[in-house]
Amino acid sequence: MADRSQANERRRNTTVACSLDQSDLAERQERWLELARRAAIEVVTTSNGLRLFFRAEPGVEAELRQLAELERDCCAFADWSVQARGTEVALDVTADSEEGITAVQAMFARLRSPRAATSG
């Protein structure tokens, strides 16, 4: 449990910023957009971030896990969690501070669908 609480404390104290340069950021955004075009279902705003749902098609979970791992490095202020849920794969992106939550909720604006809802 100490490791988890230490990780949470580090996230709270981490500056809310992306460490990618413009070129790497553009490449990363393209990967997210490609995954969304291929399999995105919905992006839902939560009280502490976002939950993104994707169809569990071949390769989707692996790509989502790889992207989440990459994001943990450049956006360390957020927690990135992937769960397979039957025919869907969900990504929860959360933050502990108001500034972090706002940043998380803005990150995937281009992936949002008109059906996106608000949940707790």
* pLDDT tens readout for residues 74-119: 888 999 999 999 999 999 999 999 999 999 999 888 776 444 333 4
Q: What is the DSSP string of 30-94?
A: HHHHHHHHHHEEEEEEETTEEEEEEE--TTHHHHHHHHHHHHHHH-TTEEEEEEEETTEEEEEEE
CA 69, 30, 20 angle in degrees (round to 5)? 55
| Sole residue written with tokens 């502490």 | 48
pTM: 0.78
Domain ranges within the chain, ordered by starting residue: 2-14+40-111
* pLDDT tens readout for residues 1-12: 555 554 545 445
